[in-house]
């Protein structure tokens, strides 16, 4: 009887160890500034309520202007970019409007797949900027998914500071380089 009790206790302890090991937290980089798309940003929270954009207004943006061909529409799509504040990856109201326009185009062309590229300015380490560029691309991806775009159609990549739009070393150049842009991969 004593051996049976010890065996059952040992079995329970081993089962609990496997259960707890399976539930252990994995090392994930902390996300500091993720603002869910429906939540107002710090800047929006300080805006008077009359000026604050409503989610319904942001989503119900007029579709992109119709051009004479799909190739021209695709070129226009790829020229649209969103820009970020220094050391931030949260979406401002202008970025959300641009993403709503991009979602409208993607909804009209469900066969198109895209890649969102995240970029940073030259300040910060290479590793930090690659991670920040990824978070910028990811925030754009998450907002497009929130707007109804299938996540299987969207991939992301970070180029960090490696491909500056403006190679100068001043605030104007850095502001242009803190961006996410879109690359159509195909249909």
Per residue in 73-87, pLDDT (tens digit) is: 888 888 889 999 998
Classify residue 118 by burial, with Cβ atoms within 10 Å: 0-12, 13-18, 19+: buried
CA distances from 13 to 19, 21, 23, 51 (A): 10, 12, 15, 59
Q: Are the C-beta atoms of residues 157 and 120 closer than 8 Å to each other?
A: no
pLDDT tens per residue, range 79-125:
889 999 998 889 999 999 999 999 999 999 999 999 999 999 888 89
- Asked which of 17-21, 68-72, 135-139 is least confident by mean pLDDT, the reply is 17-21
Answer whether 154's CB lies under 8 Å from 113's CB.
yes
Distance CA 136, CA 62 (A): 25
Q: Domains plus CATH for the chain?
A: 68-187 (3.30.1330.60)
- Which range among 16-30, 65-79, 119-133, 147-161 shows the weakest confidence by mean pLDDT? 16-30
* Alpha-carbon torsion (120, 126, 128, 130), positive or negative: positive
H/E segment holding residue 177:
helix 171-177
Task: Look at residue 96 in the predicted model and tell me its pLDDT.
Answer: 94
The whole-number pLDDT of residue 4 equals 65
Closest CA to 144 of 177, 178, 186, 112: 112
pLDDT for the residue 22 = 54
Does 163 have pLDDT greater than 70?
Answer: yes
Summary mean pLDDT of the chain: 76
Q: pLDDT per residue over 134-145, tens digit each?
A: 999 999 999 999
Q: Chain centroid to CA 145: how far?
A: 9
Beta carbons of 145 and 103 less than 8 angstroms apart: no
Q: Is residue 145 within 8 Å of residue 154, measured between CB atoms?
A: yes
Pick the most confident of 56-65, 148-157, 170-179: 148-157
């Amino acid at each position: 009887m004593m051996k049976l009790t010890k065996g059952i206790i040992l079995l329970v302890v081993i089962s609990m160890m496997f259960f707890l090991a399976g539930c252990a937290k994995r090392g994930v980089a902390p996300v500091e500034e993720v603002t869910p798309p429906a939540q107002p940003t710090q800047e929006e929270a300080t805006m008077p309520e009359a000026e604050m954009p409503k989610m319904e207004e942001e989503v119900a943006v007029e579709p992109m202007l119709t051009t004479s061909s799909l190739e021209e529409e695709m070129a226009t799509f790829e020229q649209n970019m969103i820009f970020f504040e220094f050391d931030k990856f949260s979406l401002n109201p202008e970025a959300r409007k641009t993403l709503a326009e991009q979602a409208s185009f993607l909804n009209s062309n469900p066969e198109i797949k895209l890649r969102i590229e995240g970029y940073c300015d030259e300040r910060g380490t290479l590793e930090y900027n690659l991670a920040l560029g990824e978070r910028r691309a990811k925030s754009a991806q998450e907002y497009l998914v929130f707007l109804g775009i299938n996540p299987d159609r969207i991939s992301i990549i970070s180029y960090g500071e490696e491909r500056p739009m403006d190679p100068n070393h001043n605030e104007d150049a850095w502001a242009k380089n803190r961006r996410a842009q879109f690359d159509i991969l195909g249909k």
